[in-house]
A and B are shown apart, each in its own frame.
Chain A
Amino acid sequence: MTITDVQSTPPNEQGYRAFILGGFHFRRDEFFVHISWPTGKHVASIDAFLRALQRDVAWDFFYGTVNFDHVFGTVNHYGTVDMFAGRFNDAYRRAELDHTENFETPVIRETFKAMLADWTNASFDPFASPAETAKPFGNKDGDNLEAVTRRRISASRMVGVPSDEQIRTDESGFPVNRMFADVPQDEPEVHANPGFESEVAAFNLFAYLSRSDVTWNPSVVSVCKDSLYCPTTEEYILPIVHGNDRVEWFLQLSDEIIWDVQDRDTGAPRAKVTMKAGDVAAMPADIRHQGYSPKRSMLLVWENGDPALPERISKGLENVYPVEF
C-alpha cells in the first residue's frame, strides 16, 4: 500500500484535499469536517475531528471502538477496521440510517494518515493540550508532519532497560511540562553487580510522565506477557469516546479525572466515575467512556492485550465485568 492508493481530490478553495474511502467522503473547510455516506451526512468541528483522527492513526485503531463523536468512528477487528456512521447511536439505528463499511487495515490507515497530514496546519499539534498549541482553523497554512507522525513509544520489557525505550530528559527534547513543574526528577538508585546490568533496572515513572509532550496517548512502559502498563498524561477532554471490546482498568497516579460512562451500543448514560490519586477502577467490556482532566494528570491505563479476548467476550466465555463479589 502506498500513498498513491489513497483517493483524494485536488485542493479546494480553502486549500484542503477531499478524501474518499469506499462510500465515505470527507472534506474540510475553515472550521468543519463534512462527512457524507450513502444514507446521510455529518458535520463536526475540525478541532475535535483532528484530535480524534490523530489518536485513531497513532494507536492503529486501538482496542475496540473509537467514537469520534456520537455519529462517526471506527471499530478495530485487528486486520480489518469498520468505519461507521450512526452505528452506536440509538436514533440512527432505529431510523435505519446507520452505515458501516469494512476495510483492510492498511487501506483505512493510509487514508487517515494522508487526511491528518493534509488537514493539520503548521502551528497546530493535535496531540497537544489545547492550552499548548495554536488553533486548527482557517485556510491551509503549511503542515506539521513532525507532530502528526510522532513515533509510537512501546517498551518491550520496561522503559530504562538497556536496548529498550529510554527515559525522557531535557537533552532528548522532553522538558518537564508546565503543570508538572513540582514533580521530583530524582532517578532511582540502581546498583547492578557486573554481568547483571540488563536485569537490574528501574526508572522514575512519574518523572517520565511529567516530561510527556502529548495528552491522552497511552503508550507501553512495561510488559508482563499480555499485561500492558500504558500510562499517559491527561489534560482537558479525551478527544474520543472509547468503546471497549474487553475490560480495561484505570489507576489514577496523580490529580483527578472525571469519566462519563455510557452504554457502549446506545450511548445511554450509565455512571460518572471520579478518580483521584490512588483510585483504581475497571471500565467494563460493555461500556464507552470519555474522560475530563481539569489539571494535567497522570493516569495508568492497564490493558490486557490477549488477542483472543474480544471473541471470548462476544461469545460469553468471559464476563464483561472483571470481578464478581
Chain B
Amino acid sequence: MTTYVTQFGSLDSYDKGGIEIINDDPKHFVFSNIFEVANGAKPYEKVAVAKNTKYVIEAVRTEGTSGWRSCAHDEFVTVLDGEVKVELVKLDTPAVPADKEGSVALTGEPVGQPMGHLVLRRGHQGLLPANSAYRFVADRPGVLFQQTIQGDDTIERWAEICLS
C-alpha cells in the first residue's frame, strides 16, 4: 500500500509554485506565498495576501506578544506554523464603533471580563469574536492568516510579495 505524505509548508521549509503565462499578465493572479511573506515581515504586521473589494486575508508572523486589538465584527485566524496563544477579553464598552470595519489597535490594557484563551497549532482555526479584545502570544516564530476586512493597519505591499 502506498504511504502518502501530506505536504504542508513552514517558515523554514516551503516550496513555491508559479505561473506559466500563455496569454496573460502574471500580475492578474496576485500570486504570493504566505511563508515567504511572513519570512519578510515584522512580528504581527498585517500583510494582505488576498483582497476582494473590502475583504482581506492577512498573513501574520507570530513572534513574541502582540498588542491588544479589537474589531466590531467577527474575525478568524488559522495557524500554518508554530503555536500561538490567543487571549480574549470581553470589553466593558466596545472599543470600535459598530459601523467601523477592520480591527484597531487598543492602547493599554483592555478593561473587561476575561473570556478565556485558545492555544492554536498548525491547521487550527479560531474565532476572534466581535467586540472582544484579543492578543497573540508565541514563544517561537510562526505564521497565521486572518479572515477580516481591510483596516487602518492592513499593509499592502503587493509589488514586493507578488509574482510579476
Contacts and interface: CB of A to CB of B under 8 A. Distances in A.
Contact of B17 (A192, A206, A275): A275
Interface stretch (B1-9, B61-69, B91-99): B1-9
Nearest to A255: B7
A157 B124 contact: no
A226 B22 contact: no
B28 A157 contact: no
Given A180-B6, A222-B147, A277 B14 contact: yes
B46 interface: no
A192 B115 contact: yes
A192 B90 CA distance: 12
Interface string A182-216: 11101111111100100111111111001000000
A276 B53 contact: no
B29 A191 contact: no
Contacts of A186: 121
Contact of B124 (A188, A229, A278): A188
B139 to A, nearest CB: 15
B20 interface: yes
A200 B4 contact: no
A304 B125 contact: no
A222 B19 contact: no
A273 B116 contact: no
A224 interface: yes
A54 B123 CA distance: 29
B120 A226 contact: no
A312 to B, nearest CB: 9
A207 B35 CA distance: 21
B162 interface: yes
A91 interface: no
A178 interface: yes
Given A224-B149, A277-B15, A282-B29, A202 B118 contact: yes
Contacts of B23: 268-271
Nearest to A257: B17
Interface in B1-56: 3-9, 14-24, 26-36, 49-53, 55
A255 B14 CA distance: 11
Interface in B70-99: 73-76, 78, 80, 86, 88, 90
B123 A205 contact: yes
Given A191-B117, A279-B16, A196 B90 contact: yes
Given A201-B127, A276-B15, A302-B52, A251 B57 contact: yes
B123 A280 contact: no
Interface stretch (A36-44, A116-124, A139-147, A317-325): A317-325
Given A261-B24, A322-B52, A273 B29 contact: yes
Nearest to B34: A278
B154 interface: no
B88 A200 contact: yes
Contacts of B8: 206, 253-254, 277
A25 B33 CA distance: 47
A270 B24 contact: yes
Given A181-B4, A249-B52, A251-B57, A188 B118 contact: yes
A272 interface: yes
Contacts of B31: 273, 279-282
Contacts of A318: 53
A285 to B, nearest CB: 10
A247 interface: yes
Interface string B133-158: 00000000000010111000000101
Contacts of B15: 276-277
Interface of B: 3-9, 14-24, 26-36, 49-53, 55, 57, 73-76, 78, 80, 86, 88, 90, 113-127, 129, 132, 145, 147-149, 156, 158-159, 162, 164
Given A193-B114, A224-B73, A227-B147, 8 more contacts: A222-B147, A224-B76, A227-B149, A251-B57, A273-B20, A278-B80, A279-B33, A280-B49
9 contacts: A200-B116, A200-B117, A202-B120, A202-B126, A224-B148, A261-B24, A261-B29, A279-B31, A322-B51
